[in-house]
């Protein structure tokens, strides 16, 4: 499954996946740009092709209240005002 766009490739692998998680550990791809036409179909508030920003939104959506996350991300993501 493409976790950003929700596009499913093998439904059997994710059929019993919970909607939200207590813990998320991830190292999203730094180099990938997602197809913006697919992003427009998502519920993310910020429509961007930058996968790091998309992953942050995805993690916030998938993390339970009180949940914890460990995320590897480029430092520019935290300091760029135009994304």
Check: CB of residue 40 under 8 Å from CB of residue 48. Answer: no
Which pLDDT does position 50 carry in this prediction? 75
DSSP state of 31: S
Check: CB of residue 82 under 8 Å from CB of residue 39. Answer: no
For each of the chain's 83 residues, which pLDDT tens digit applies? 666 666 767 767 667 778 899 999 988 776 666 666 766 677 788 877 777 788 888 889 899 999 999 988 877 777 766 65
Which pLDDT does position 45 carry in this prediction? 85
Which pLDDT does position 54 carry in this prediction? 80
Alpha helices by DSSP H, listed for 1-83, are 11-14, 36-39, 51-62, 76-79
Which pLDDT does position 82 carry in this prediction? 65
pTM over 0.85: no
């Amino acid at each position: 499954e493409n976790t950003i766009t929700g596009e499913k490739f093998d439904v059997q692998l994710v059929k019993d996946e919970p909607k939200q998680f207590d813990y998320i550990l991830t190292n999203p791809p730094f180099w990938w740009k997602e197809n913006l036409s697919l992003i427009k179909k998502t519920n993310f508030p910020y429509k961007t092709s930058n996968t790091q920003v998309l992953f942050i939104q995805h993690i916030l959506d998938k993390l339970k209240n009180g949940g914890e996350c460990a995320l590897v991300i480029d430092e520019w993501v935290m300091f760029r005002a135009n994304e």
